[in-house]
Every structure is written in structure tokens, then in C-alpha cells.
Chain A
Amino acid sequence: MTHRWGMAVDLDRCTGCEACVTACHAENNIPTAGPEEAARGRAKHWMRVERYWEGEFPDVSAKFRPVLCQQCDNAPCEPVCPTYASQHNEEGLNIQVYNRCFGTRYCANACFYNVRFFNWGNPEWEKPLNLQLNPDVSVREAGVMEKCTFCIQRIKAGEINAEAENRELKDGEIKPACVQSCTANALVFGDLNDPESAVSRLAESPRGTKLLEDMGAKPKITYLLRETWHESSVKS
């Protein structure tokens, strides 16, 4: 049976520590932009932690929401690409074919989660940071789009290992960098086609919701609402 990769994000567990963001940068060879370029909107974070303030001072609380590519089943970024650089693979991932992209940036406009990023210039790393590049991930040249791949290099490695050892993949065996680095276990990754997997069970949770669900993109990431919010809304 083919896999259908998905994720669950427990908003109650997320502490906003941004370890996932850092891990993602390291794993996927995402260069940092520097303060000036970042202020111009040139920072690339395949994974970001959105921070929203709630309440009036002094009763203020910060709410965090990790946002990454939602790997939509009905992805708005895919049909608009004139060259098929943005497309669906057989495991339900929205893949970006760097070599086929010529940089119209239409996919980024069509994506209402704003999780697609453009290579405004060629990536650069100050020495000796160039030595820590991940050899499993290609660096992207100026003029192409990029986005979260669910660490497709790790997925492929896991599948190949399992096949070499002639066995089924175990649930939780494959972990994207963000999931692996999440100290609070707020991120859970797995196969949505396996009803017994942790992510499948969480996707069925009554706390489960989708980001901008009414836009109809059928995202494969389930956000688990905060219990505190849930309880108070039930009471009132």
C-alpha cells in the first residue's frame, strides 16, 4: 500500500522554542538572510512559528502556531505552475522540481499559507559554515522556488532501508528534522493510510482542526486545538 504522509501539530504542547525552525534550516541547507535582507522580506523559513498575542495587558498570553507546507491534497500551488515544477507525487506530497522551475512565483501567490519561498539570489554560507551542508539535499540556485518537502530525503532513506531489510516501515521510524528536534513532542509525523499510526489517530481527534480549512485545499496537517480553549468554549 502506498503511503500518505501527514502530520499532527499539538498546539497545547508547542512552547514556541523554534528548535524545529533551526533543525529545518540545518537539515535542508536553507541559508539565513541576515538582518537587512530579512527586514526586506527575504528570510526563508520552510518551518516558522507564528506568534500571536492574546488578551489585554496585563492578562497577555502568547500563542504559538508552527506553520509549514500543509501538503494539501487539493493544492492551489499546483495547477497554476506553467511548467509542472510544482506537482503531486504518488505519496501525496507536494513536490517542487527545482530543475523545472523558472521562477514565475505564481505558486507562491496562489498559496494562502505563504509557505513557499523564492531564491532571490544564489545561496551563500560563510566559511566554515559551508562544511556543514547536508549532502542529501541539493542547494537551490537563484530564480527557483522552494518549500518544505516533509524531509523527503529522510522518507526515501527510510523506505529504502525497510525494503533492503525486507520489512514493513514502522510507525515513527521516519522523522522529519522538525519532528525529531521538537522537545515537547508537539509534532507527530506518520502515514495517514495506516489507521493504527499515531498521526492517523490524532487526525481523528475531536481537538483536530485544519488551518484555513474553509479554503478547501484539503491540507494533510492536523492542528490539535488547545485544551484550555476547548474547555472554556464547552463551558460557555
Chain B
Amino acid sequence: MSQASRAKQITDDLLRPLLHTTWKFYLGVSFLSCFVLAGLAAWGYQMYNGLAVTGDNWPVFWGFHETNFVFWIGISDAGTLISAILRMVYAEWRRPVTRCAEAITAFALTIGAMFPLVHLGRPWFAWWLIPYPSERGIWPNFRSPLTWDFFAINTYLTSSLLFLFLPMIPDFAIVRDRTTGFRKKIYSWLALGWQGYPKQWHRLELTMHIMAIAIIPIAISVHTIVSFDFSMALVPMWHTTIFGPYFVAGAIFSGIAALIIAMAVLRKTLHLEEYLLPIHFNNLGKLLFTMSLLWGYFVFNERLTTWYGNEPSEMAVFWTTQIGTFAPLFWTMVFCNFILPFPFLAIRKLRTITGCVIASCGVVVGMWLERFLIIVPGLSHKPLPYSWGSYMPRWPEITIMVGSFAAMILLYTLFSKVVPIISIWELKVGEHYEHQAAKALGAAEEAGEVV
């Protein structure tokens, strides 16, 4: 196949989801919207009646909402980070993967950032976190980890959206040139006057270089600061130095798992079998395996030091998770995060697309449980045994949680409908490089330089 016809095929294949819509799309979107609306309704119900309708109580003041907050911020942590690292090291196989990953960050972070609002007693005052010049001279308390959170998440959200948007500009221009009417107007606006001049390419490349480097410390810091929400408080098994790296590792771990699942679904539904290849799943599977081992190492460290230290209030939390009330959840977590993924990711024959997806589903469940097991057992076993308690979620929290998952899938579906989910221009650049290399090799062979 000639280079030109191959390029045309790429454009056609990747623009197909934007230009052709079947009834399945509308059915899926309506189905997901029902759950999202149910979640929003539950939130409204909770706001109207107060947090009395949730399972939160004295002494477990944080439950499902905070678990979901940490979980979604965790999922969001991987996308941009992976994309930035792969771009920085010029990993050629990254090309079809980066946009899928960056989009996960954008949506998971938006959903995650909603949960601090959902959990507030009086969410209509959330703007007090903004340091605006108040007539009473009151600022937010900069000593509070929750204030740090506010800034960390907003910084990451802004930079991730930019990081997602910048490489979309040339693709918007492609769509602009292929559409008519109202859509052409929107895409012209989004393409920001892109004409493909060398100067424009040069600027885009330079900006992406800078962003890729700058976004790595931001991604690390955001989940470290989320971990500070817990490790700064003197709650048994919260107050530990391991939490920063532990949360970041867990975040990347769950984020890669979400990426693998998203890619597998996109591959099937949008018929991208020629673009999302087994090699991509294989490579991401290896990365997931590394993170699984790292996660296991962190858990072992955390548990061993607690057990060896034998501090009474910490041991109460330790035993309730090891053999007590929370033990079934704890061992399910260990199974999902470590035991289940191990064979699928460690054995090359099993590290297929299906194998990676099975492991990833386990990891997503396991990492959700991990967030829950960090928050709740500590709060229910604070130092005075008289004030020990427990926690059981009630329907508003569960509905809001289901709604958040539906919202993630819905946003992703809509996104893949209006933006080429695989970067067209980046793929073409990759093909061009390959072609050049093949040509150079051919020329060398002809000249008799290669034996």
C-alpha cells in the first residue's frame, strides 16, 4: 500500500466514529444518562435532607464519598503521567495510546473533584476555599491539607486539560476540513486557526515538550497531597510517612488498569483492531505488573512496621483489617490487586488482551477497596475504645457512586464521539518515520552496505 493511501485510510478509520452514528450510540448514552441522573438526584436528596441520609456517623465521619474521591483522583493520576513519560522518552508505541490516557485523566479528575463538594455539610459555601479578597480579611486556612488539596487538584486539572487539548488542535483542523455547516464552525473554532505551517508545528512540539516535563511533578504532587489529607491527622494507621509514595503508586496502578479496560472497550466498539494492537496491551500489562509488585511491596512495608511497632491503637486497626470485621474486604483487596493479576501479567502466554483486561478489572475493584480500607477502619478504631464505631453505606452514597462510574463512561463515550480518540496526526507522523526508516534501509541494502 502506498504511503498516501495508508494515510487516507488512517483518517477514514479514525474519523468514522465522528461522522457515522448508529442507534447503539443513542441507546448507550440514554442508558448511562439514567444512572448519572439518578446519582445527581441522590445528591440533591442528600443536600436537601442533610448528611443524615448517608451512613456517615460518629466516629466514622468519612465513608464512601471520601473513598470515591481518592479512588477517582487515583484513576486520574495515571493518564497524563504515562502519556508524559512515554512522550519524554520517545516511546514510539505510545502513539495510539496517549489520547485515550489523557482523556481518562481529564474525566476522572473532574468526577473526583466533585466528591469534596458532595461530602460537604454545606456545599453551597465551598467557594470559601478560594482566596478572594474578602471585606472581612478572611482567607482560607493555608495550614489545612484540604486547602492544599484544593490548589493541587485545580493545578492538575488545568494542566491536564491543556495537555489533552494541545495535541488535539491539528486533529480538530482535520475534522474541520472534513465537515460542513454547524460542525465546521465549532471545529474551526476549536482548531484555533491551525493551518499546519512549520512555525505552528514547531510551537506545538515545543509546548508539548515543556508540558510533558512540567506535568510529571504536578501529577506526583497531587496524589501525595491527597494522601496528606490522611497522613497529617493522628488517626491510627493514617499517620504514616509511607502514604505519599503509597498513594502515588496506587494511583498509577489503578490508572493503568482503567486505561487498559478503556482501550479494550474502544478497540471492540469503534473497530480499532488495527490501531490498538496486542503489543500495546502487552506493554501496558508489563507496566501494570510492575505497579502490582510495587503496591504489594508498599502494603507489606506498611503492615510489617505497624505490627512490629505494636502500638495499641494501631494494632486495633491492624487486627480488624487482618482478621476482624474488615478482613474479608482486606483479603479480597489482596486477591484482586496481587494474586489475580500475577499469573495474567507475569506469564507471557496469558498476557493477552483478555488476560490484561481480567487483571485490570481486578485491580480497579482492589484499589477501590484499598481506599476504603485506608479511611474507615482507622476512624472506627481511634485511641479511646469507648468511641469505637463502624460504618455501613446507605442508598444515597451507593447511588452517587454508581452515578460517578456511569458519568465516567458517559463522558468518555461522548468524547470519543466528538474527538478522534486516537491522535490522527501523531499516528501519521509515526507511519512517516517508519517509512523513512524502511526507505533508508532499502537504499542501504541496494548499496550493499547491509549484509
Question: Given the complex of chains A and B, what is the CA–CA distance between A118 and B54 in angstroms?
Answer: 13
The reply to whether A83 and B140 form a contact with Cβ atoms under 8 Å apart is yes
The reply to whether B52 and A42 form a contact with Cβ atoms under 8 Å apart is yes
Max count, chain A CB within 10 A of own CB: residue among B121, B122, B146: B121
Q: What A residues does B144 contact at CB under 8 A?
A: 79-82, 106
Q: Knowing A76-B234, A118-B58 touch, does A104 contact B382 (C-beta < 8 A)?
A: no
Question: Given the complex of chains A and B, what is the CA–CA distance between A82 and B125 in angstroms?
Answer: 12
Q: What B residues does A144 contact at CB under 8 A?
A: 121-122
Q: What B residues does A112 contact at CB under 8 A?
A: 234-235, 382-384
Question: Given the complex of chains A and B, what is the CA–CA distance between A41 and B379 in angstroms?
Answer: 13
Stretch from B59-67, B156-164, B275-283, B414-422 at the A interface: B59-67
The reply to whether B62 and A105 form a contact with Cβ atoms under 8 Å apart is yes
Which residue of B is nearest A99, CB measured? B125
Q: Knowing A82-B150, A104-B146 touch, does A52 contact B59 (C-beta < 8 A)?
A: no
Contact of B50 among A100, A108, A109, A121 (CB under 8 A): A121
The reply to whether A80 and B232 form a contact with Cβ atoms under 8 Å apart is yes
Question: Given the complex of chains A and B, what is the CA–CA distance between A41 and B382 in angstroms?
Answer: 15
Chain B positions within 8 Å of A, measured between CB atoms, are 49-52, 55-62, 116, 119-123, 125-126, 128-129, 138, 140-141, 143-147, 150, 229, 232-235, 379, 382-387, 389
Q: Is A43 an interface residue (CB 8 A)?
A: yes
Between-chain CB contacts (< 8 Å), 18 pairs: A48-B386, A52-B386, A76-B234, A82-B146, A82-B147, A82-B150, A84-B138, A101-B122, A105-B61, A105-B62, A106-B145, A109-B235, A110-B232, A110-B235, A112-B235, A112-B382, A112-B383, A142-B122
The reply to whether A41 and B62 form a contact with Cβ atoms under 8 Å apart is no
Work out how many contacts link A and B, with CB atoms closer than 8 A. Answer: 139
The reply to whether A215 and B383 form a contact with Cβ atoms under 8 Å apart is yes
Q: Knowing A83-B140, A144-B121 touch, does A43 contact B384 (C-beta < 8 A)?
A: no
Could you tell me which residues of chain A, from 61 to 86, have a CB within 8 Å of some CB in chain B?
A: 65, 67, 76, 79-84
Question: Given the complex of chains A and B, what is the CA–CA distance between A119 and B428 in angstroms?
Answer: 59
Q: What B residues does A184 contact at CB under 8 A?
A: none
Q: What B residues does A43 contact at CB under 8 A?
A: 58
The reply to whether A80 and B58 form a contact with Cβ atoms under 8 Å apart is no
The reply to whether A84 and B141 form a contact with Cβ atoms under 8 Å apart is yes
Main SS of chain B's interface residues? loop
Q: Is A208 an interface residue (CB 8 A)?
A: no
The 3 closest A-B pairs by CB, nearest first: A103-B121, A143-B121, A41-B57
The reply to whether B121 and A105 form a contact with Cβ atoms under 8 Å apart is yes
Q: Knowing A104-B146, A112-B234, A117-B58 touch, does A67 contact B384 (C-beta < 8 A)?
A: yes
Q: Is A125 an interface residue (CB 8 A)?
A: no
Q: What A residues does B233 contact at CB under 8 A?
A: 76, 80, 106, 109-110
The reply to whether A42 and B58 form a contact with Cβ atoms under 8 Å apart is yes
The reply to whether A114 and B58 form a contact with Cβ atoms under 8 Å apart is yes
The reply to whether A143 and B120 form a contact with Cβ atoms under 8 Å apart is yes
Q: What B residues does A101 contact at CB under 8 A?
A: 121-122
CB distance from B227 to the nearest CB of A (A): 14
Contact of B120 among A67, A76, A103 (CB under 8 A): A103
Q: What B residues does A50 contact at CB under 8 A?
A: 384, 386
Contact of A114 among B123, B147, B382 (CB under 8 A): B382
Contact of B122 among A42, A81, A143 (CB under 8 A): A143
Question: Given the complex of chains A and B, what is the CA–CA distance between A212 and B383 in angstroms?
Answer: 8
Question: Given the complex of chains A and B, what is the CA–CA distance between A114 and B128 in angstroms?
Answer: 26
Question: Given the complex of chains A and B, what is the CA–CA distance between A79 and B229 in angstroms?
Answer: 12
Q: Knowing A80-B233, A82-B141, A120-B50 touch, does A41 contact B120 (C-beta < 8 A)?
A: no
Q: What A residues does B116 contact at CB under 8 A?
A: 104
CB distance from B274 to the nearest CB of A (A): 49
Q: What B residues does A106 contact at CB under 8 A?
A: 144-146, 229, 233
Contact of A102 among B56, B58, B125, B383 (CB under 8 A): B125
